[in-house]
A and B are shown apart, each in its own frame.
Chain A
Amino acid sequence: MFNIIKERLKDISFKEIIWHNFWLKVISLIVAIITWFYVNGELTKGIKV
């Protein structure tokens, strides 16, 4: 089991992980941050009330 994980990790190219669908990753990160800040703001407002 450990060997399989080790083998798979060896094959992973981190460069490829970052650059594959790079803009899709960036846009989803922006949307995630906006969503988090919006929901957090709404929740904070609710707590204040």
Chain B
Amino acid sequence: MPLFLKGVNWRPIVEIFILWLVIYRIFLFLKGTKAQYLLRGIVILIVAFFLSQKLGLYVMSWLLTKFFAFFLILVAIIFQPELREGLVRLGRRHIFYVEPKQEEVERTIREIVSATNILSKKKIGALIAIAREMGLKEYIESGVKINADVTSELIQTIFSPLSPLHDGGVIIGGIKVLSAGCLFPLTENPQLDRALGMRHRAGIGLSENSDALVIILSEETGNISLAINGQLTKDLSPADLHTILKGQLVRVRR
């Protein structure tokens, strides 16, 4: 054991650190999903339980214990798909997962912006989602899996009006086009501009339900919009889009 640790009980620190990492990962996984509201409930329950124990409120503590056990079973049933996805992700990433190099991410951004620029000039509608921390598995599976390197030509081909996949959205993960012709959930935000079409509503809907960045190209005007966390930024220039994507995607540390 190192000399500076002699006489110091380091085990609690290590245990709390491991616990913190696990809890933080769970929070990060649930952030931005519908389950985050449930998570708030769990945190409130834990804090209330701890306080009732410390204050000697034994009836409250007993009730909370019983309720918590029931609550956990309920959570396991309701969030079974999310839990399964979480366990799969836990096994798949973080240990052997190699992050794409920053140069590759920057090249991918350039390809996306180039495709967006060309499609915008030709007034061809497009819907491109860039996945970040949250998995978009259910949306990826609603389309046709591609799993190819992102190139401007590939994106243009997918959205060309004669392509069978041009109607849905494209999902990009890392440096790959994962899937095309995907179905995105429509937003139910009543405050949105009534003039917005289905493509915009689908883009905003996906950004509300995940942490993905969604680029929307209007068929009528060729305008470029970007949806992040349910917020739509309209009329972006290719240079603006490049700057925002770079800021959002390049070297985001957790």
Contact = CB atoms under 8 A, between A and B. Distances in A.
Contact of B12 (A12, A29, A31, A36): A36
A38 B19 CA distance: 13
A34 B46 contact: yes
A17 interface: yes
A44 to B, nearest CB: 12
A16 B28 contact: no
B28 A24 contact: yes
- Interface size range on B against A: 20 to 34
Interface of B is mostly: helix
B16 A34 contact: no
Contact of A20 (B15, B23, B252): B252
Contacts of B27: 24, 27-28
B16 A33 contact: yes
Interface of A is mostly: helix
A48 B31 CA distance: 40
A31 B31 contact: no
A28 B253 contact: no
B236 interface: no
B251 interface: yes
Interface string B18-34: 01100110011001000
Contacts of B49: 38
A21 B254 contact: yes
Contacts of B20: 28-29, 32
A21 B28 contact: yes
Interface in B215-254: 251-254
Contacts of B19: 32, 35-36
A31 B24 CA distance: 9
Given A11-B251, A20-B252, A28-B24, A34 B50 contact: yes
A3 interface: no
B3 interface: no
B87 interface: no
Interface of A: 11-13, 16-17, 20-21, 24-25, 27-29, 31-38, 40
13 contacts: A11-B251, A16-B251, A16-B253, A21-B31, A24-B27, A27-B43, A28-B24, A29-B20, A31-B23, A32-B20, A33-B16, A37-B50, A38-B53
Given A32-B16, A32-B23, A37-B50, 19 more contacts: A11-B251, A17-B254, A21-B31, A21-B254, A24-B27, A25-B24, A28-B23, A28-B24, A29-B20, A31-B43, A32-B20, A33-B16, A34-B50, A35-B19, A35-B46, A36-B12, A36-B16, A38-B49, A38-B53
Closest A-B pairs by Cβ, 8 of them: A32-B19, A32-B20, A28-B24, A28-B23, A16-B253, A36-B16, A17-B253, A34-B50
